[in-house]
Amino acid sequence: MLDTLRSVASAMVSTVRQASPTRIAITAAAALGLVAVALFVPLPTAVQLRDWATSLGPWFPLAFLATHTVATVFPFPRTAFTLASGLLFGPLLGIVIAVAASTASAVVALLLIRSAGWRLNTLIEHPVLDSLDERLQARGWPAVLSLRLIPAVPFSVLNYAAGASAVRVWPYMAATFVGVLPGTAAVVVLGDALTGTVSPLLGVVSVCTAALGIAGLVYEFRGLRHPADGTGGVGG
């Protein structure tokens, strides 16, 4: 696994060296813009959300879902919206809205990256990146699922990285849906949004999902290093 990581790191260094200064500058500016939006654009408070719900009436769940989807295309903290879903809509509808919005947001981010032309397999030629992209195209869904299960992996960063890879859209969407479901449900159900305290069960769920995610990544890295014949993935 360490040898694979070193090879990927070497490929990324080669990628940076091959990229034009203009593209690097555009990428840096875009990254800074995303960070600036996340840092300086304030999220709505609980009082503002309550007032918004009162004004929109029965349309509020759809409006909240749309806002959640668009906002988390940027690197805003997804947990804030997940907690708000549980607080505003209760556990059942809250889970449906939070998972649907997160999945839609992830797909939108991936498509935006690709529409901008940021696909490594079309920009850079390197054997390790080619091998990794082929693996992601054939079996991208287990890697995405594993990473989604690890709470420490930033949601938006994974979206952008997947957009630059060859992972297929439908397997990516399915893996995102399944991967975010346990952690999102735990936050909606167990997170105490009113007092700011968190149930210890939330920590147990996070540790369990992270362990599953890490185990899945180890398996995928070993498969990348020793590919099996006839390996396939979910169609998409």
pLDDT by residue (tens digit) across 99-139? Answer: 999 999 999 999 998 888 776 655 555 555 566 667 677 77
Structure tokens belonging to residue 205: 């769920």
* 113: amino acid identity, one letter: I
Structure tokens belonging to residue 181: 């479901």
Q: In the chain, what are the domain boundaries?
A: 2-225
Establish how many alpha carbons lie within 13 A of residue 151's alpha carbon, considering only the half-sphere containing its beta carbon.
16
Structure tokens belonging to residue 203: 């920590």
For residue 141, CA distances in Å to 92, 159, 179 come to 26, 13, 10
d(Cα 97, Cα 35) in Å, to the nearest integer? 25
Other C-beta atoms closer than 10 Å to the C-beta of 115 total 9
d(Cα 23, Cα 156) in Å, to the nearest integer? 21
Q: What are the counts of helices (DSSP H) followed by strands (DSSP E) for the chain?
A: 10, 0
d(Cα 71, Cα 139) in Å, to the nearest integer? 29
pTM for this one?
A: 0.69
Helix (H) or strand (E) run with residue 97 in it: helix 78-115
Q: What is the pLDDT of residue 235?
A: 43
| Contact criterion met (CB below 8 Å) for 136 and 126 | no
Tell me the CA end-to-end span of the chain in Å, nearest whole number: 28
d(Cα 165, Cα 96) in Å, to the nearest integer? 28
Q: Using alpha carbons, select from 71, 63, 84, 109 the residue that is nearest to residue 187.
A: 84
Q: Using alpha carbons, select from 8, 234, 225 the residue that is nearest to residue 138.
A: 234
d(Cα 101, Cα 180) in Å, to the nearest integer? 11
| Tens digits of pLDDT across the chain (236 residues) | 444 444 445 545 555 555 556 655 655 565 565 555 555 556 666 556 666 666 777 888 999 999 999 989 988 888 888 888 888 888 889 999 999 999 999 999 999 988 887 766 555 555 555 666 676 777 778 889 988 988 888 898 889 888 888 889 999 999 999 999 998 988 887 654 454 555 566 667 778 877 887 887 777 666 655 555 444 444 44
Other C-beta atoms closer than 10 Å to the C-beta of 22 total 8
